[in-house]
Structure 1
């Protein structure tokens, strides 16, 4: 019966594993629902501030700001890469890194000209291992300390842009399309693309704005807040994507555990039946020889 005993031990082991995956699934569901509320709020906030920014820029079409019109001869390119801190969340990190390599290949960007701000330990470990230049990083982000932790790294790369040490900055993250779909995205953060497609030029905009202390300072502050909001939204979207992906991964793992247990139970019963049949045969053979 040693074989049957081994099968029984395997069944118990997989049951214990299933308890863990089921618990992780429930934790991911809980975290996902919490961060989803913040995700929808930040999306609304982003849409509002974007509308205000482009409204002001449209009304002040001749206003020149470095975030929009600045050009320099630097060959350096900055990337803000938002990844997860933990694994077991499907392939959202690997898909994001693939998008990064596709971008640098398409733009023919030399490795030595790349500067990275890493948000999340997975991207930090990955690009450190590949010897990329990481100018700033932050790990162990949770929904309660997102803005405080990311503000420093964001400012570090924006300062390099202001000093003409970086020509362009890209932002990479996973956008949560829905609970079952996450999509890696890349956005140009700086310079800001001055795009008025969403604005009707025939519309009469209200230009009765009062600026304190002055127009330039107000628009400049709003542009900085706009950039911070884009990165903040990216981080929250990425956390939501992480929890959604982990929920699905753990659910699939639990279902796989059920299938394996069912197969092992069938094997256990067949093995047990085989040994019982053999014992009965031996008993019958013994009784016939008496």
Structure 2
């Protein structure tokens, strides 16, 4: 009985050690990807900040709401660009952003543009309308892909097929902190800046502000999408690294506990054998 028990424990130790090797490897891969993802976020942020400032100034100049991108309209249908991961084992990363997106869509006629395999799987199972699954891999999405999505969405917006565009993603705060967030890409709404900024200092656009917006807005929306993708990818790697580090620590603790149980079981087996030998010798006497 004791021998069988020690064999089971040894088998369990080997199993946990194998799992620990996998989690350690995944932690190292996630750490490597996280470094590159952080560099991409830091490189992209200044461009998108400048783009945001340009769009704000253009919206302030269009006080008569002559542009379709600035004009207010009744929201009958909303397009949600939802960004999550392509795979699991990243703690609560996917679950948190998908739950957040579902809450935003509640009570709305929502059209979903999924970026990330988990998004397509999640919303297709729940009966949401998916416009396209062409860009379902978040890791392989580049700037030109973001611009393609933006061109498609802005064309639908101008045609009146959708009335607002929102981007749901995970904001990268630090390696330990990632928070779900959303951006309202269209219609352009800079109400605070419109009240704070003086009307006397306005920019002149040639040939006209409306034509400039028609060219710049798709790039602006594409920039927002790409920026959100970089933030989300860095968040995913940070969450996966944290999850795999915790899993490795738990596996190490389990191995220590199992080694202690193994030593106790082996000591008990040795004690039992000695007792049986002594008992047998006493019986022969």
Q: Same fold (TM over 0.5)?
A: yes
CA contact (8 A) 1:76 1:166 kept: yes
Deviation at 1:92, TM superposition (A): 1.7
> Is 2:134 the counterpart of 1:132?
no
Aligned to 1:38: 40
Aligned to 1:79: 80
CA–CA distance in 1 between the matches of 2:231 and 2:16?
A: 33
Cα deviation per residue 1:56-87 (whole Å; 9 max; x = unaligned)? 44345446221111525x62221111111111
Give the TM-score normalised by the residue count of structure 1.
0.88
Once the two structures are superposed, the pairs formed by residues 275-286 of structure 1 within 5 Å of their partners are 275-286=269-280
Q: Give the CA RMSD over aligned residues.
A: 2.3
The range that moved more, 122-131 or 215-224, is 215-224
CA–CA distance in 1 between the matches of 2:253 and 2:200?
A: 64
CA contact (8 A) 1:88 1:246 kept: yes
> Is 2:179 the counterpart of 1:178?
no
Aligned residues: 281
CA–CA distance in 2 between the matches of 1:93 and 1:151?
A: 24
Deviation at 1:46, TM superposition (A): 1.0
Deviation at 1:152, TM superposition (A): 3.0
> Is 2:245 the counterpart of 1:243?
no
Residues 222 and 151 (structure 1 numbering): CA distance in 2 closer, same or farther, change over 3 Å?
Answer: closer
CA–CA distance in 2 between the matches of 1:203 and 1:279?
A: 95
Deviation at 1:55, TM superposition (A): 2.6
Aligned to 1:192: 188
> Is 2:236 the counterpart of 1:234?
no
Aligned to 1:152: 148
Runs of 4+ in 1 over 6 A off after TM superposition: none
CA–CA distance in 2 between the matches of 1:238 and 1:135?
A: 21
CA contact (8 A) 1:68 1:191 kept: yes
CA–CA distance in 1 between the matches of 2:80 and 2:280?
A: 81
2:12 to 10, 13, 30: 10
CA contact (8 A) 2:85 2:236 kept: yes
Deviation at 1:49, TM superposition (A): 1.3
Gaps of 5+ in 1: none
CA contact (8 A) 1:136 1:153 kept: no
Deviation at 1:141, TM superposition (A): 3.3
The range that moved more, 149-158 or 161-170, is 149-158
Q: Secondary structure at the match of 2:131?
A: strand
Deviation at 1:147, TM superposition (A): 1.9
Gaps of 5+ in 2: none
Residues 176 and 155 (structure 1 numbering): CA distance in 2 closer, same or farther, change over 3 Å?
Answer: same
The range that moved more, 58-67 or 25-34, is 58-67
Q: Secondary structure at the match of 1:172?
A: strand
CA–CA distance in 1 between the matches of 2:214 and 2:281?
A: 100
Deviation at 1:175, TM superposition (A): 0.6
> Is 2:161 the counterpart of 1:165?
yes
Q: Secondary structure at the match of 1:88?
A: coil
Give the TM-score normalised by the residue count of structure 2.
0.90
Q: Secondary structure at the match of 1:166?
A: coil
